[in-house]
Amino acid sequence: MSPERIHHDTYTRVVLERLKGDKGAVVGCIIVFSIVICAIFAPYMTSYDPLKHNYNKLLFPPSLSHPFGADQYGRDLLTRIIFGCRYAIIIGGAVVAIQLLIGVTLGLIAGYYGGIIESIIMRMTDVMLSIPSIVLAVSIAGLLGGGIQNVIIAVAAVGWRGYTRLVWSEVLSIKKETYVEAARAIGCGDLRIILRHILPHTLASVIAYSSISIAIAILWAAALSFLGLGAQPPTPEWGAMLADGRDFMSDAWWIATFPGLAIMITVLGFNFFGDALRDALDPKMERGL
């Protein structure tokens, strides 16, 4: 085993140990894991159809056969919420993937090259900060014509700046390290230095931030769907379910309650996990060692 490998194993083990000892991380992990399981096995977890109307059960209150009740078309709410996990995970995952690609790339370029490129990229992130996110996301999603795909683009387009700032500030300190200087001295190209010597050292904070930004992405996408710009009824997406059931909520409190709870628990799970991960991945934190 090479020395690098040993070091890597130890670090991973330390991080895992730290995560196991953190109550927030355990709770967050259980929530995230359950949601992923629900998303994958949704059709096998319930005997009801998420889309089929059942006119015998309109606005059926919570009971043993329908733990969360039924909605205005008699569809089992629990079933729809379980299927909603798919949308949450897909939207959250896709948004973060796009944000990572754009945000990390720009952050690496700005931090490594500096000068005028850095000024342009970082001024852009400053300017993005002065447009309220929802205002920009609503405009982008609306102008692109709505739908889940455009919501993903809109939320990704307003959220990448967080990654850029994060990676940029990390690169600024990493590029002064001796090993980067050494790599340059033995004739490594810029691309090799960036990808092999700088990028790996920014990953810890990027991963932790990803968990938190999935939470934000899920919240925003649900908000856009609630406004009518994202998933359209009858899609069992949580935000769209809340918008769709809005007119019935004074007669059937469960329609307004459970999809919101689902969003909250999911967001809480990713937030807990992200916070714990950030602490666990921080090599400066001595706790748990």
Partner 1 sequence: MLKYIVHRLLILIPVLFIVTILVSLLIYFTPGDPVRVMLGIRANEEAVARIRAELGLDRPVYIRYLKWLGNIVQGNLGRSLQRNENILEMILERLPATLELNIFAILVSLVLAIPIGVISATKANTFIDNLSSFFSLFWVSMPGFWIALIALLLFSMKLHLFPISGRLGPIWTKEGIWSLLLPGLILGIRQVAIISRLIRAGMLEVLNEDYIRTARSKGLAERVVVYKHGLRNAMVPAVTIFGLQVPELLSISVIIEIVFAWPGMGMLLVDAVFKRDYTLIQGIVLIYSLLVIVVNLVVDVLYAYIDPRIKYD
The Cα 133–Cα 156 span in angstroms is: 11
Yes or no: say if 122 and 152 are a contact pair by the CB < 8 Å rule: no
- Residue 162's contacts (CB-CB under 8 Å, 6 or more residues apart) are 99, 103, 209, 213
Task: Based on the shown chain and the rule CB under 8 A, indicate whether residue 72 belongs to the binding site for partner 1.
Answer: no
Task: Based on the shown chain and the rule CB under 8 A, indicate whether residue 210 belongs to the binding site for partner 1.
Answer: no
CB atoms within 10 A of CB 287: 10
Task: Based on the shown chain and the rule CB under 8 A, indicate whether residue 102 belongs to the binding site for partner 1.
Answer: no
CB 256, min distance to partner 1, A = 5
The long-range contacts involving 188-191, CB below 8 angstroms and separated by at least 24 positions, are 190/112
CB 53, min distance to partner 1, A = 24
CB 24, min distance to partner 1, A = 9
Task: Based on the shown chain and the rule CB under 8 A, indicate whether residue 51 belongs to the binding site for partner 1.
Answer: no
What's the token pair of residue 22? 């953190």
Among the listed ranges 38-46, 75-83, 140-148, 182-190, the one in contact with partner 1 (CB under 8 A) is 140-148
Task: Based on the shown chain and the rule CB under 8 A, indicate whether residue 54 belongs to the binding site for partner 1.
Answer: no
Task: Based on the shown chain and the rule CB under 8 A, indicate whether residue 188 belongs to the binding site for partner 1.
Answer: no
Which residue number, 234 or 260, has a Cβ lying nearer to partner 1? Answer: 260
Task: Based on the shown chain and the rule CB under 8 A, indicate whether residue 133 belongs to the binding site for partner 1.
Answer: yes
CB 179, min distance to partner 1, A = 34
Among the listed ranges 11-19, 47-55, 109-117, 143-151, the one in contact with partner 1 (CB under 8 A) is 143-151
Which residue number, 65 or 119, has a Cβ lying nearer to partner 1? Answer: 119
The Cα 84–Cα 62 span in angstroms is: 19
Task: Based on the shown chain and the rule CB under 8 A, indicate whether residue 23 belongs to the binding site for partner 1.
Answer: no
Task: Based on the shown chain and the rule CB under 8 A, indicate whether residue 127 belongs to the binding site for partner 1.
Answer: yes
Task: Based on the shown chain and the rule CB under 8 A, indicate whether residue 228 belongs to the binding site for partner 1.
Answer: yes
Which residue number, 93 or 228, has a Cβ lying nearer to partner 1? Answer: 228
Which residue number, 167 or 242, has a Cβ lying nearer to partner 1? Answer: 242
Which residue number, 100 or 222, has a Cβ lying nearer to partner 1? Answer: 222
- Residue 94's contacts (CB-CB under 8 Å, 6 or more residues apart) are 152, 156
Which residue number, 6 or 120, has a Cβ lying nearer to partner 1? Answer: 120
The long-range contacts involving 52-60, CB below 8 angstroms and separated by at least 24 positions, are 59/248, 59/251, 59/252, 59/255
Backbone angles phi, psi at 70, to 5 degrees: -125, 155
Query: Restricting to residues 234-253, which ones interact with partner 1 according to CB under 8 A?
Result: 239, 242, 246, 249-250, 253
Site residues (CB under 8 A) for partner 1? 123-124, 126-136, 138-145, 215, 219, 222-223, 226-229, 239, 242, 246, 249-250, 253, 256-257, 259-260, 263-264, 267-268, 271
